[in-house]
Chain A
Amino acid sequence: MARIDWNNGKVEMIHGSGGRAMQQLISELFAVEFNNEFLNQGNDGAVLPLTLPCSPDGARLVMATDAHVVSPLFFPGGDIGSLSVHGTINDVAMNGAAPLYLSAAFVLEEGFPLADLKRIVQSMARAALEARVPIVTGDTKVVERGKGDGVFITTTGIGAVPPPVDLSGSYARPGDRILVSGSMGDHGVTILSLRESLGFESELQSDTQSLHGLVAEMLTHVDSIRCLRDPTRGGLANTLNELAHQSGVGMHLQEAAIPVKPVVASACEFLGLDPLYVANEGKLIAICAAADADKLLQVMRSHPFGQEAAIIGEVIEDSNRFVQMTTRFGGRRMVDWLNGEQLPRIC
């Protein structure tokens, strides 16, 4: 069997055919990079021990899955590999769970450079190692050229929720406070800035990062957290509308309290976008009882991934389930669901 050319080689249909070439790709790349005892079992699935990091009495399992299709694949602050690890870990963590294991499924396009694939897999391995969540099983498929966009990665995560943690988007109550862990819109604007038709430069980086460490700190110190959610696609605005809808409440935000980096605000300004609707990949929204809001804010700010945390508003009674905002300017407006795509305005 010829050696894999990691410098100039390309993904070929044979790499997904189930034969020796696929086996070679798995053993020389995925097994080496993701290396852990469960993956190394080499079976069709990973057999995992039932030992939990918490008391098993009343503990529950959380499972979350996320498909990643970002373009471009590499961007300042990360790539599709690290994003696919962080994204699913965060989805597990938002349920109050400590993430335990990940799976990863790759859809590769024929002709995709193997050097890029290696870079992506190494980045995933690094992200998984930093998060201490092993990738224990996976799958690879290859589609014909033109039927994919380089690489798509779907990751699934399992985690355990220790009792008495019980979070849900339906638990927000009037009077509760709404917090965010940092600045809004960094990831989305980073990606937009790389789209060839826009061509503006900035020092901005994606905020992609795993939030389970921050979540663990928050849950250890504050009992009254009702729900956590990461404002990815659709940004803060959509996520708050989801929560308002689930809980049957309204929300009232203070625009001046919402952290947005000046470079993000400027980019959104000239593209005609609203940072509240732009995606984040390493930030969370927390809702907790008013009495605990200041304490929660301190806990978040003492964690490296929550230094810019802020209390941005409160939950109110509203049968319309509107999310509204007092603008910096002093007037009120709705912060509605995102309508269609965010399309740039004309003039």
Chain B
Amino acid sequence: MKYVDEFRDGSLARQLAAAIAAAARPERNYHLMEFCGGHTHAIFRYGLPDLLPANVQLIHGPGCPVCVLPIARLDMAMALAKHPDIILCTYGDMLRVPGSGRTSLLKIRAEGNDVRMVYSPADCIALAQQHPDRQVVFFAIGFETTTPPTAVIIEQASRLGLKNLSVFCNHVLTPAAMHGILDTRESGEALKLDGFIGPAHVSTVIGSDPYEPFPQQYGTPVVIAGFEPLDVLQAILMLIRQLNDGRAVVENEFTRAVTATGNEKARQITERVFEVRDQFEWRGLGFVPHSALQIREQYRELDAEQRFADVLQQHAERIQLVPKDNKACECPQILRGVKKPRDCKLFDNPCTPDNPLGSCMVSSEGACAAYYQYGRVMES
């Protein structure tokens, strides 16, 4: 496959692995966090841990969109989906995530509610036009990558005067979460973190500039890397070299797609439609200031939180009685990189991708699911 196989070349991988082994100093450890689930997935899918020396350890960060969504927001989406007028649309990954009381969007769909998987938010426009007597709600999740397409349908729905489409917005911001992680390190939590493998697709939108505070404020280097396995190895080598030299800067391994300022058009439409929330809850990180987006006042009619405020209010009163997360679930610690999937008592029994108890076991980008699906063989 042109432009893909080149970045999965086994012989180049062996050369890079040799360079990493030569660069890594035996007297120290290198704790590197890949922020993105896309990297986590690539690392396990291509068996990268096999190619790294033991003292280069990868910490799997919180950049998995469905993993970081707090149960409270998922419960709100399910409350909307249970409304007889509403068709709730979302991305496939979201459907299996367990909410309160061991339910999920898939389970409430089986109970007869109208929940649909979409590949693109644009499908919601067509659906709203096909069902003028129903209310179509797009349950929007994800980082800066999935935000512009949501903004596009909000502007489009506004232009078309669509009265039966709205968006339940849960878009979150990557740099704010990275601040959150480094702040927990500063607060003395047992997180060893020497450098970030920076996001690929997110950075194509926001550019490399927003990462500058991490070396400057926290002395933590960032190397932005593509999602292909050679990208990841190259970024690891670049981080090791920075750490060996005592440098901390933002470097860009993914120059074929990422510039300093990113995708201006995508940023502009995001800016027109959304504004930053004062704070937002992240699973694993708690409430993080200025870490998510909400729909601007100008488009309040398209904001499901406004349009269905009464439904959500009734839900809020009811939900207090329902049991929350499984107490033994270590997703919060795993999302902060403090623990590994195997450290969780629930991992593999009873929590598996077929029966996920925590969100990290749902998406193939989640650390637990990636480790379960691809990594267990390393133990034998």
Query: Which A residues have a C-beta under 8 Å from some C-beta of B?
Result: 197-198, 256, 262, 265-266, 269, 272, 318, 320, 322, 324, 326-334, 336, 339-341, 343-347
Query: What chain B residues lie within 8 Å of A339 (beta carbons)?
Result: 352-354, 369, 373
Query: What chain B residues lie within 8 Å of A340 (beta carbons)?
Result: 96, 353-354
Query: What chain B residues lie within 8 Å of A343 (beta carbons)?
Result: 92-93, 95-96, 117
Query: What chain A residues lie within 8 Å of B375 (beta carbons)?
Result: 333-334
- Min distance, Cβ B233 to any Cβ of chain A, angstroms: 9
- Asked if A346 contacts B65 (CB within 8 A), the reply is yes
Counting CB contacts under 8 A, is B377 at the interface? yes
Counting CB contacts under 8 A, is B38 at the interface? yes
User: CA A159 – CA B201 in complex, angstroms?
Assistant: 54
- Asked if B118 contacts A336 (CB within 8 A), the reply is no
Query: What chain A residues lie within 8 Å of B369 (beta carbons)?
Result: 339
User: CA A267 – CA B374 in complex, angstroms?
Assistant: 22
Query: What chain B residues lie within 8 Å of A347 (beta carbons)?
Result: 38, 65, 142-143, 145-146, 201
Choose, from B8-16, B162-170, B307-315, the stretch at the interface.
Answer: B8-16
Dominant SS among interface residues on chain B: helix
- Asked if A346 contacts B353 (CB within 8 A), the reply is no
User: CA A332 – CA B13 in complex, angstroms?
Assistant: 13
The answer to whether A318 and B13 touch (CB under 8 A), given A197-B123, A340-B96, A347-B146, is: no
Nearest-neighbor residue (CB-CB) of A322 within chain B: B377
- Asked if A322 contacts B376 (CB within 8 A), the reply is yes
Query: What chain B residues lie within 8 Å of A262 (beta carbons)?
Result: 1
A to B CB contacts below 8 Å, 5 in the list: A324-B377, A329-B8, A330-B13, A330-B47, A331-B13
- Asked if A345 contacts B93 (CB within 8 A), the reply is yes
Counting CB contacts under 8 A, is B48 at the interface? yes
Interface mask (B34-78 → A, CB under 8 Å = 1, otherwise 0): 000010010011111111000000000000011000000000000
- Asked if A336 contacts B372 (CB within 8 A), the reply is yes
The answer to whether A331 and B50 touch (CB under 8 A), given A339-B354, A343-B92, A345-B363, is: yes
Nearest-neighbor residue (CB-CB) of A274 within chain B: B45
- Asked if A346 contacts B47 (CB within 8 A), the reply is no
User: CA A334 – CA B119 in complex, angstroms?
Assistant: 27
Counting CB contacts under 8 A, is B4 at the interface? yes
Interface mask (B356-376 → A, CB under 8 Å = 1, otherwise 0): 000000011100010011111
Query: What chain A residues lie within 8 Å of B9 (beta carbons)?
Result: 329
**Among candidates B4, B48, B65, B91, residue contacting A331 with C-beta atoms closer than 8 Å:** B48
- Asked if B46 contacts A331 (CB within 8 A), the reply is yes
Counting CB contacts under 8 A, is B187 at the interface? no
The answer to whether A346 and B4 touch (CB under 8 A), given A331-B46, A336-B373, is: no
- Asked if B46 contacts A327 (CB within 8 A), the reply is yes
Nearest-neighbor residue (CB-CB) of B10 within chain A: A330
- Asked if A328 contacts B1 (CB within 8 A), the reply is no
Query: What chain A residues lie within 8 Å of B8 (beta carbons)?
Result: 328-329
A-B CB proximity, top 3 nearest: A331-B47, A343-B92, A339-B353
Query: What chain A residues lie within 8 Å of B141 (beta carbons)?
Result: 346
Nearest-neighbor residue (CB-CB) of A319 within chain B: B380
- Asked if B374 contacts A336 (CB within 8 A), the reply is yes
User: CA A345 – CA B373 in complex, angstroms?
Assistant: 15
- Asked if B373 contacts A331 (CB within 8 A), the reply is no
Counting CB contacts under 8 A, is B378 at the interface? yes
- Min distance, Cβ A257 to any Cβ of chain B, angstroms: 13
- Asked if A320 contacts B49 (CB within 8 A), the reply is no
- Asked if B10 contacts A334 (CB within 8 A), the reply is no
Query: What chain A residues lie within 8 Å of B49 (beta carbons)?
Result: 331
The answer to whether A329 and B95 touch (CB under 8 A), given A198-B119, A339-B353, A346-B65, is: no
- Asked if A329 contacts B93 (CB within 8 A), the reply is no
Query: What chain B residues lie within 8 Å of A332 (beta carbons)?
Result: 47, 50, 377-378
- Min distance, Cβ A203 to any Cβ of chain B, angstroms: 16
User: CA A326 – CA B229 in complex, angstroms?
Assistant: 14
Query: What chain B residues lie within 8 Å of A346 (beta carbons)?
Result: 65-66, 91-93, 141-142, 146, 363, 365
- Asked if A334 contacts B95 (CB within 8 A), the reply is no
User: CA A332 – CA B375 in complex, angstroms?
Assistant: 8
- Asked if B377 contacts A330 (CB within 8 A), the reply is no
- Min distance, Cβ A110 to any Cβ of chain B, angstroms: 23
Nearest-neighbor residue (CB-CB) of A332 within chain B: B47
- Asked if B380 contacts A318 (CB within 8 A), the reply is yes
Query: What chain A residues lie within 8 Å of B363 (beta carbons)?
Result: 345-346
- Asked if A329 contacts B13 (CB within 8 A), the reply is yes
User: CA A336 – CA B361 in complex, angstroms?
Assistant: 14
User: CA A320 – CA B119 in complex, angstroms?
Assistant: 36
- Asked if B123 contacts A330 (CB within 8 A), the reply is no
Query: What chain B residues lie within 8 Å of A272 (beta carbons)?
Result: 364
- Min distance, Cβ A273 to any Cβ of chain B, angstroms: 10
- Min distance, Cβ B38 to any Cβ of chain A, angstroms: 7
Nearest-neighbor residue (CB-CB) of B352 within chain A: A339
**Among candidates B96, B120, B123, B365, residue contacting A345 with C-beta atoms closer than 8 Å:** B365
Nearest-neighbor residue (CB-CB) of B117 within chain A: A343
User: CA A330 – CA B15 in complex, angstroms?
Assistant: 11
- Asked if A334 contacts B377 (CB within 8 A), the reply is yes
Nearest-neighbor residue (CB-CB) of B92 within chain A: A343
Query: What chain B residues lie within 8 Å of A334 (beta carbons)?
Result: 373-377
User: CA A197 – CA B117 in complex, angstroms?
Assistant: 10
- Asked if A329 contacts B10 (CB within 8 A), the reply is yes
Nearest-neighbor residue (CB-CB) of B4 within chain A: A269
- Min distance, Cβ A204 to any Cβ of chain B, angstroms: 14
- Asked if B377 contacts A333 (CB within 8 A), the reply is yes
**B65, B92, B120 — which one has the most chain A CB atoms within 10 A of its CB?**
B92
- Min distance, Cβ A109 to any Cβ of chain B, angstroms: 21
Query: What chain B residues lie within 8 Å of A330 (beta carbons)?
Result: 10, 13-14, 17, 47, 50-51
User: CA A190 – CA B354 in complex, angstroms?
Assistant: 26
Query: What chain B residues lie within 8 Å of A256 (beta carbons)?
Result: 10
Query: What chain A residues lie within 8 Å of B91 (beta carbons)?
Result: 344, 346
Nearest-neighbor residue (CB-CB) of B51 within chain A: A331
